[in-house]
Amino acid sequence: MSACPCGSGLLLAACCGPYLAGVAAPTAEALMRSRYTAFTLQDEAYLLATWHPSTRPSGLGLAQESSRPQWLGLKVLHYQLQDATHATVEFVARHKIAGRAYRMHEVSRFVLEAGRWFYVDGDTA
């Protein structure tokens, strides 16, 4: 068994694994962590399925990337429930592409619809 890429300290099977297998994430933060994990695993189907239809792209092209990122870590800085169906998650995700280090700092917006959280969009900092 391997550690979950989201940085929770739990095993993948006890953390993001069930969400990637179809169990609804209970919070926007759990969904955001599972989406990071999906990026590390190149699970484009999960990323698209958890992206709100109003902002979802037709594809991400993860399999076609000539220089795939090496994901280095995730740090959740802040999680806030706006109301019963809206939340934000601020995070920093670090990765390398072709040996060069990058960090993505984003405040992501999520919405709860029909018992499932969806990523809507985000602002990079």
Nearest-angstrom CA–CA distance, 92 and 7: 12
Percent of the chain with pLDDT over 90: 85
Write the CB contacts of 103 (distance below 8 Å, at least 6 apart in sequence). Answer: 92, 93, 94, 95
What pLDDT, in 10s, does the model give residues 98-115? Answer: 889 999 999 999 999 999
Band of the pLDDT at 88, cuts 50, 70, 90? very high
What pLDDT sits at residue 61? 81
What pLDDT, in 10s, does the model give residues 14-72? Answer: 999 999 999 999 999 999 999 999 999 999 999 999 999 999 999 888 776 666 888 99
Where would I find the H helices in the chain? Answer: 17-20, 28-41, 44-49
Domains in the chain (CATH in brackets) are 12-124 (3.10.450.50)
Band of the pLDDT at 125, cuts 50, 70, 90? confident
Nearest-angstrom CA–CA distance, 42 and 35: 10
First to last CA, the chain: 35
Band of the pLDDT at 92, cuts 50, 70, 90? very high
